[in-house]
């Protein structure tokens, strides 16, 4: 069976999940910008104008422009630009305020975004790069190459500084949790869908598409399991071989739709007669196997066969017509008739043909008697 279509479908679903994920991160970034930039600008009242505030305004404008055209942009562009914006915000704050910068959290945001949008390796590389940047910034401030644009002591006493930190940190956490929550839910849904598809493919490989009954391979597996279990516990197993009588005449006379209808009805009747632990399987055009597991004996197996013979012989309604078929049923018992599945199958098959032959001879005798009485 060619599963390339299913594979392509999964690939498209994964790409759709990634696109939705980056779009949600962009929407969250817009919210962060709309709240964080005004909070940053409030610091003008206490700290005066700072160069980083101009960069924040530029980034806000970029974010809004991209958001307005979000549906028209490709995944690669949106993901790459998002990382650039997050790193630009983080680096700007780090360069101006050092470890006091709320923008440091944007570096963490960028690391997580790289890991989820691209790969774990990309996330690790981003994390190492972020650590390196922090180390370089720390060395720069310690060596006096970098200087804070405000007095650290007074900065931590400013309410606007804390407002900026709270707004940035809080919104980043919310965006991450919401985005990752949707991403996780989408992946779980996809895994469930893949599992359902796998189960469906497995069922198609082991069950008859027309009747829903197990195919010969699955029937053989269940027979083998039943024989091993019965052998260990010194119990019996019955194998019934069924061949429908008169099916070819219906299939030829009324068409394949009528034949399919008969087969489906036969399958329904078979499963209604046998026990839940037993197995009825379709192994050919109009041939069926029934595995009767312990507890069972020869008399009980014969009783099941007689009941099946009566039930299967009942008329079948098809478009107002009453169709009739019968069944020739052969029985083989484990261990009396054989201990291997092939032996039991051969004995049940031979028994079925003897019964079918007797039916033909009986029908021939009846027809001859009717013809003689007519003369």
Report d(CA 5, CA 20) in Å as an integer. 23
Instruction: Name the active-site residue from 23, 208, 278, 286.
Output: 286
Q: Which of 252, 220, 249 is nearest to 326 (CA)?
A: 249
Q: Give the start-end residues of each E strand in the chain.
A: 237-245, 279-282, 287-292, 316-318, 321-323, 326-334
CA dihedral over 119, 123, 128, 134, signed as positive or negative: positive
Report d(CA 278, CA 271) in Å as an integer. 9
239-to-29, 136, 217 alpha-carbon distances in Å: 68, 79, 15
| DSSP character string of 220-264 | HHHHHHHHHHHHHHT--EEEEEEEEESHHHHHHHH-HHHHHHHHH
Report d(CA 349, CA 342) in Å as an integer. 10
Active site includes 337?
Answer: no
Query: For 290, phi and psi rounded to 5 degrees?
Result: -130, 125
Segment (H or E) for 206: helix 159-206
Tokens of 43: 């610091």
Q: Are 292 and 237 in contact (CB under 8 A)?
A: yes
Which residues are part of the catalytic machinery?
286
């Amino acid at each position: 069976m060619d599963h390339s279509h299913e594979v392509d479908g999964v690939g498209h679903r994964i790409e759709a999940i990634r696109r939705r994920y980056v779009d949600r991160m962009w929407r969250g970034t817009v919210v962060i910008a709309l709240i964080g930039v005004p909070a940053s600008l409030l610091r003008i009242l206490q700290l005066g104008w700072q160069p980083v505030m101009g960069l924040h305004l530029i980034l806000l404008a970029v974010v809004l422009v991209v958001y307005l055209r979000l549906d028209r942009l490709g995944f690669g562009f949106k993901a790459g630009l998002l990382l650039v914006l997050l790193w630009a915000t983080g680096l700007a704050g780090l360069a101006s305020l050092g470890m006091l910068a709320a923008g440091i959290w944007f570096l963490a945001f960028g690391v997580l975004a790289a890991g989820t949008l691209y790969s774990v390796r990309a996330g690790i590389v981003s994390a190492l790069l972020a650590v390196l940047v922090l180390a370089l910034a720390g060395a720069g401030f310690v060596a006096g190459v970098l200087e804070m644009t405000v007095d650290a002591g007074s900065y931590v006493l400013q309410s606007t500084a804390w407002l900026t930190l709270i707004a940035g940190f809080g919104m980043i956490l919310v965006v991450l949790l919401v985005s990752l929550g949707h991403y996780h839910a989408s992946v779980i849904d996809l895994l469930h869908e893949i599992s359902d598809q796998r189960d469906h493919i497995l069922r198609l490989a082991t069950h008859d598409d027309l009747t829903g009954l197990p195919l010969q391979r699955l029937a053989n597996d269940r027979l083998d399991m039943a024989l091993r279990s019965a052998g260990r516990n010194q119990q019996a197993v019955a194998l019934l071989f069924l061949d429908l009588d008169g099916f070819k005449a219906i299939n030829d006379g009324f068409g394949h739709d009528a034949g399919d209808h008969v087969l489906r009805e036969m399958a329904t009747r078979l499963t209604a007669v046998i026990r839940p632990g037993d197995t009825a399987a379709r192994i050919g055009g109009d041939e069926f196997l029934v595995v009767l597991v312990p507890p069972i004996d020869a008399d009980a197996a014969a009783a099941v066969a007689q009941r099946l013979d009566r039930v299967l012989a009942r008329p079948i309604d098809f478009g107002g017509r009453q169709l009739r078929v019968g069944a020739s049923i052969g029985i083989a018992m484990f261990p009396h008739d054989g201990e291997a599945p092939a032996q039991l199958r051969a004995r049940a098959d031979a028994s079925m043909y003897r019964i079918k032959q007797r039916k033909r001879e009986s029908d021939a005798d009846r027809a001859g008697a009717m013809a003689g009485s007519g003369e």
